[in-house]
Amino acid sequence: MREFGLTPPQFDIIVTLGNTDGMSFKELGEKTLITKGTLTGVIDRLELRGMVKRAASKSDGRSTIVRLTKKGEDEFERVFPSHMAYLRGPFAALADAELEQFEQLAEKLRLAFASAGAAQS
pLDDT, tens digit only, all 121 positions of the chain? 666 788 999 999 999 999 999 999 999 998 898 988 899 999 999 999 999 999 988 887 788 999 999 999 999 999 988 888 888 888 888 898 998 998 899 889 878 877 876 666 5
Q: What is the pLDDT of residue 76?
A: 94
Three-class DSSP labels, the chain: CHHHCCCHHHHHHHHHHCCCCCEEHHHHHHHHCCCHHHHHHHHHHHHHCCCEEEEECCCCCCCEEEEECHHHHHHHHHHHHHHHHHHHHHHHCCCHHHHHHHHHHHHHHHHHHHHHHHHHC
CATH of 2-93, one of 1.10.10.10, 3.30.70.2190, 3.30.499.10, 1.10.8.100: 1.10.10.10
| Beta-bridge partner residues of 23 | 66
Q: What is the pLDDT of residue 66?
A: 96
Q: Which residues contact 36 (CB under 8 A, 6 or more apart)?
A: 25, 29
pTM summary value: 0.76
What is the residue extent of each domain of the chain?
Answer: 2-93
Quote the crossing angle between the two packed helices 25-32 and 8-17, to the nearest 10°.
120
